[in-house]
Amino acid sequence: MKKAITDLEYGETGTIVEIRGFCQALNSLGIRTGKNVKMITRQPIKGPVVVIAGDVQVAMGCDLAAGVVVEIRGMSDGSA
């Protein structure tokens, strides 16, 4: 199943399969196609989203995160 990063549940993991817009900004954060990510936290009301991409925690705005599509693998046991 595919979801935007903003729609991931806490602890849910997946692989980035598509990036819509802001590619250069996301690439500089380490967010790129093929990278594994795990949802750590998201703030309510369009607040920032924090994910682990590889071994790095990345915080990004909700609008930026909404353009990142992830293929879901399920709940993680602690590794992204």
Q: How many CA atoms lie within 13 Å of 76's alpha carbon, on the beta-carbon side?
A: 20
Give the C-alpha separation, 20 to 67, whole Å: 5
Mode of pairing for the β-strands spanning 2-4 and 12-19: unpaired
- Give the pLDDT of residue 80: 45
What single-letter DSSP state applies at residue 26?
H
78 pLDDT more than 70: no
Measured CA to CA in angstroms, residue 3 lies from 58, 66, 68, 78 at distances of: 18, 9, 8, 20
Q: Are 14 and 8 in contact (CB under 8 A)?
A: yes
What confidence tens digit (pLDDT) does each residue in 26-77 have?
Answer: 888 888 999 999 999 988 777 899 999 988 999 998 888 899 999 997 554 5
User: What pTM, to 2 d.p., does this model score?
Assistant: 0.81
